[in-house]
């Protein structure tokens, strides 16, 4: 199956509109103000979707203009919120979730049917609960699907988070996406290379700061350029923006939540017991960490291609996540309408730690890179010392 | 063994870190923030060893290495960089670099890299 980034960006728009329609349905039903927090088309990987956290929800099969399955889930806290609003009383959680699942799923599916100018029939929702893997099995996720449409809807002022996964089958995807130039297998290789880069980055953070980090989430997704800022949270972050130039070129944004940024500065700067302000020394430490992290991330790509990727000096940022992304998108949007977005989250097991990494390659150069790439290649970085 | 070291890195944080690692064993003859300053300070102090970053504004570490080696082929230059790309390493070799160490690093690996270069 071959795809192109433009088609993926176009279906991503429809997925977001479906999310907005579903959010309106949810608001109409519960009276809670809701927003679409995440909406993206990601390259499917059962490992990425199979979280250990337990959730409850509904699975639905659909057929017609598009065939496949969907899975809508809510956290246990969200179930309590829904039960209190919709059906106060004991033992009604299943009914509350099923009701919401039915209405919200319809919002997504209806948008797709309208977009495709056809009808899509869906089965009555089946109540499901369990870990991510159990839920995916319940939804009939066959591990052979190429792309997943993922949307997260959040509530304003209430503990309610709704995750929706649309899992079209391969034939439906082929019809939707047409026949592009990029084999899906190469995207899978790219995703694996990016994952390896994120793991090397995590090792570098651990080595520099002594904070034992791991890659918690890594996604390769396809979104319209103007939607990229929406993928970043509106929390205040501290980090760096770097430009890389080569095959491919693009941007890397590395963001620490403020508490984690203070922690890395204390770990990096000798004699620093606490950080009140991000002064010049603190900024320099964050910039250097970002510099090393970026090299860790892209060096493996360069080595696979026997090429070089030059990295700019880092630009320190301290702002809302979406505002940081706006500055990158303003430049990237001059030459492309859709973006390939790799994002990874680094966390630590023994403390609160949050570092978000976003890589936004130039689409044309990425296509050239994919032409050079052999499926199954792995990215490794030269990390040692010695004489030359 | 080298006695005087010139530290070249655009990051104040990294210059401080390298100074902390090296000053117990060596005299720090100067610190430069870019390749132009590196060449100027090299000419002024003639250090036994240069710890050279690659990515820097104004003039990068590979260009500065080439300039210093042209002037003194016997100089000892260790690329001290976050870049782990094989093609960049080849460019560094071509410019005349004698050794390299990739960030992040700890004191023992820095000392090992210096030992490797000086004893070669």
Condensed to tens digits (0 to 9), the pLDDT of residues A34-75 reads: 888 777 888 766 566 667 788 998 999 999 888 988 889 998
| Residue A381 C-alpha, separation from nearest chain B C-alpha, in angstroms | 6
Question: Which CATH number is A2-177 given?
Answer: 3.40.1550.10
- The reported pTM is 0.82
In the predicted model, is pLDDT for residue A383 greater than 60? Answer: no
Q: What is the mean pLDDT of residues B60-71?
A: 96
Residue contacts between A and B (CB atoms, under 8 Å) = 105
- Closest CB from B81, B87, B116 relative to A387: B116
Q: What is the mean pLDDT of residues A177-188?
A: 81
| Residue A91 C-alpha, separation from nearest chain B C-alpha, in angstroms | 55
Q: What is the mean pLDDT of residues B42-63?
A: 94
Q: What stretch of H or E contains A70? A: strand A68-74
Main-chain dihedrals φ then ψ at residue A146, nearest 5 degrees: -85, -40
Q: What is the mean pLDDT of residues A325-333?
A: 87
Strands A182-183 and A385-387: unpaired
In chain B, residues with a C-beta closer than 8 Å to the C-beta of A384 are: 102
**In this predicted structure, what is the pLDDT of residue A50?**
66
**In this predicted structure, what is the pLDDT of residue B52?**
96
**In this predicted structure, what is the pLDDT of residue A45?**
65
User: Mean pLDDT across chain A, nearest whole number?
Assistant: 85
Least confident of A329-333, A348-352, A373-377, A382-386: A382-386
Radius of gyration of chain B (CA): 12
What CATH topology corresponds to A182-372? Chemotaxis protein chec (3.40.1550)
How far is B1 from A97, CA to CA, in rounded Å?
73
Share of chain A above pLDDT 70, in %: 92
pLDDT band at A386 (very low <50, low <70, confident <90, very high): low
**In this predicted structure, what is the pLDDT of residue A384?**
63
pLDDT band at A116 (very low <50, low <70, confident <90, very high): confident
In the predicted model, is pLDDT for residue B96 greater than 70? Answer: yes
Q: Do B82 and A284 touch (CB under 8 A)?
A: no
Collapsing DSSP to helix, strand or coil, B87 comes out as helix
Q: Is B84 on the interface with A (CB under 8 A)?
A: yes
Do A182-372 and A2-177 have the same topology in CATH?
yes
**Under a CB-based contact definition with an 8 Å cutoff, are residues A238 and A258 in contact?**
yes
Q: What is the mean pLDDT of residues A5-20?
A: 84
* Helices A5-30/A170-177 angle, 10° precision: 110
Share of chain B above pLDDT 90, in %: 67
**Under a CB-based contact definition with an 8 Å cutoff, are residues A53 and A132 in contact?**
yes
- Verify cis geometry, omega within 30 degrees of 0, for the bond prior to A251: no
| Residue B48 C-alpha, separation from nearest chain A C-alpha, in angstroms | 16
Query: Counting Cβ atoms within 10 Å, is residue A378 exposed (0-12), middle (13-18) or buried (19+)?
Result: exposed
In chain B, residues with a C-beta closer than 8 Å to the C-beta of A247 are: none
Domain ranges of chain A: 2-177, 182-372
Chain B interface, mutation test: which of A292, A385, A386, most B Cβ atoms within 10 Å?
Answer: A385
């Amino acid at each position: 199956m071959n795809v192109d980034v433009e088609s993926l960006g176009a279906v991503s728009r429809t997925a977001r509109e479906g999310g907005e329609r579903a959010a309106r349905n949810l608001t109409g039903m519960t009276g809670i103000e809701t927003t679409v927090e995440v909406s993206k088309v990601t390259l499917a990987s059962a490992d990425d979707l199979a979280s250990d956290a337990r959730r409850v929800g509904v699975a639905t099969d659909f057929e017609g203009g598009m065939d496949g399955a969907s899975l809508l889930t809510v956290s246990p806290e969200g179930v309590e919120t829904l039960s209190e609003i919709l059906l106060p009383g004991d033992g009604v959680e299943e009914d509350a979730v099923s009701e919401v699942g039915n209405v919200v799923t319809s919002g997504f599916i209806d948008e797709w049917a309208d977009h495709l100018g056809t009808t899509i029939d869906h089965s009555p929702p089946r109540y499901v609960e369990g870990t991510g893997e159990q839920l995916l099995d319940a939804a009939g996720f066959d591990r052979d699907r190429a792309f997943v449409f993922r949307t997260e809807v959040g509530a304003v002022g209430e503990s309610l988070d709704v995750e929706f996964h649309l899992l079209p089958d391969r034939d439906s995807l082929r019809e939707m996406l047409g026949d592009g130039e990029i084999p899906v297998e190469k995207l899978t290789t790219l995703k694996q290379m990016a994952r390896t880069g994120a793991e090397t980055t995590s090792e570098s953070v651990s080595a520099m700061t002594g904070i034992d980090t791991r890659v918690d989430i890594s996604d390769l997704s396809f979104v319209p350029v103007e939607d990229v800022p929406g993928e970043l949270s509106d929390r205040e972050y501290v980090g760096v923006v770097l430009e890389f130039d080569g095959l491919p070129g693009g941007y890397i944004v590395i963001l620490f939540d403020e508490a984690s940024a203070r922690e890395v500065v204390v770990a990096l700067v000798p004699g620093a017991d606490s950080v009140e302000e991000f002064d010049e020394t603190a900024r320099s430490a964050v910039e250097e960490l970002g510099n090393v992290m970026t090299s860790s991330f892209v060096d493996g790509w360069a080595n696979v291609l026997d090429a070089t990727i030059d990295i700019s000096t880092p630009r320190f940022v301290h702002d809302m996540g979406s505002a940081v992304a706006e500055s990158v998108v303003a430049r990237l949007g001059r030459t492309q309408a859709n973006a390939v977005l790799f994002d990874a989250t680094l966390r630590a097991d023994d403390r609160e730690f949050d570092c978000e990494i976003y890589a936004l390659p130039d689409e044309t150069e990425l296509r050239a890179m994919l032409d050079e790439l052999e499926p199954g290649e792995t990215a490794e970085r030269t990390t040692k010392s010695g004489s030359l | 063994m080298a006695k005087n070291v010139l530290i070249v890195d655009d990051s104040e944080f990294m210059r401080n870190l390298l100074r902390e690692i090296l000053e117990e064993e060596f005299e720090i003859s100067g610190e430069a923030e870019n390749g132009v300053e590196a060449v100027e300070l090299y000419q002024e102090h003639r250090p036994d060893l240069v710890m050279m970053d690659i990515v820097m504004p104004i003039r990068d570490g590979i260009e500065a290495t080439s300039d210093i080696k042209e002037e003194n082929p016997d100089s000892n230059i260790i690329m001290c960089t976050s870049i782990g790309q094989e093609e960049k390493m080849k460019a560094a070799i071509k410019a005349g670099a004698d050794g390299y160490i990739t960030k992040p690093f700890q004191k023992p690996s820095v000392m090992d890299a210096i030992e490797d270069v000086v004893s070669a």
